Amino acid sequence: MQWELDFLRWVVDHLHPSAAVDWVMKIITVMGDMAVIWFLLAIVMLFFKGFRKTGIVMIVGLIFVAGFNLYILKPIINRPRPFLDDPYLASYVYGFFESSGLFKVPDGASFMSGHALSAFISAATIAHYHKKLAIPAYIFGAIVAFTRLYFVVHYPTDTLAGAATGVLFAYLLIILADKIEVQIRKRKEPTHHAT
């Protein structure tokens, strides 16, 4: 949609204040590639009893939901990246990425943003089980998702859809995990026979 291209042009023109900010955003977006930062965080959580369930739910969500998006949904919808639809954005993206030794121009389809999906599956899961971490989890998740608009490799609707889907599936997985935990506890409870 035209408004999305206009918004991304505005991002290129107004939201790149310095090379230092670009560098920080590069690091954050690379951390979100293939959900690496979220997998690492979830794996660390497995070693702490109070965070173990959070880590398990995150890993399941990242593998199945984000994996479904990457390998099935994206190829089916096959929406082109925004810079392929707009010469102004293309000149920025190819110029920026070619001058950056950190990453290459993303290929593959645009919808939905895997960065946003993974970030919000993780943020919503952390926020649910650890209320005190809700605000930092959502802020960092939003920054990871925003980097995809900052570098104009996704349309805004790609990112919004990824974030909304991430939250939705996180809560579906949380409900499922809680039910499974209840069943496991019931099986572990000793049975009392009347005498």
Residue 16: pLDDT band by 50, 70, 90 thresholds? confident
Please tell me the distance from the alpha carbon of residue 151 to that of residue 105, in angstroms, as a whole number: 10
Mean pLDDT of 33-48: 93
The token duo for 48 is 């702490």
**CA neighbours within 13 Å on the CB side: how many for 193?**
1
Task: Return the closest-CA partner of residue 88 out of 33, 13, 17.
Answer: 13
Q: pLDDT (tens digit, 9 = 90+) per residue, 101-127?
A: 666 788 889 999 999 999 999 999 999
pLDDT at 148 over 90: yes
Q: What is the pLDDT of residue 108?
A: 85
- Are 163 and 146 within 8 A, CB to CB? no
Mean pLDDT of 168-190: 89
Q: What are phi and psi of 132, to 5 degrees?
A: -65, -20
pLDDT at 186 over 60: yes
Q: What is the pLDDT of residue 85?
A: 82
Most confident of 28-32, 44-48, 71-75, 91-95: 44-48
pLDDT at 71 over 80: yes
* Helix H or strand E segment including 82: none
Please tell me the distance from the alpha carbon of residue 165 to that of residue 22, in angstroms, as a whole number: 28
Q: What is the pLDDT of residue 102?
A: 63
Q: Residue 34: left if φ>0, alpha if ψ -120 to 50, beta else—which one? A: left
| Across 25-34, 91-100, 135-144, 185-194, least confident range | 185-194
pLDDT at 149 over 70: yes
Residue 23: pLDDT band by 50, 70, 90 thresholds? confident
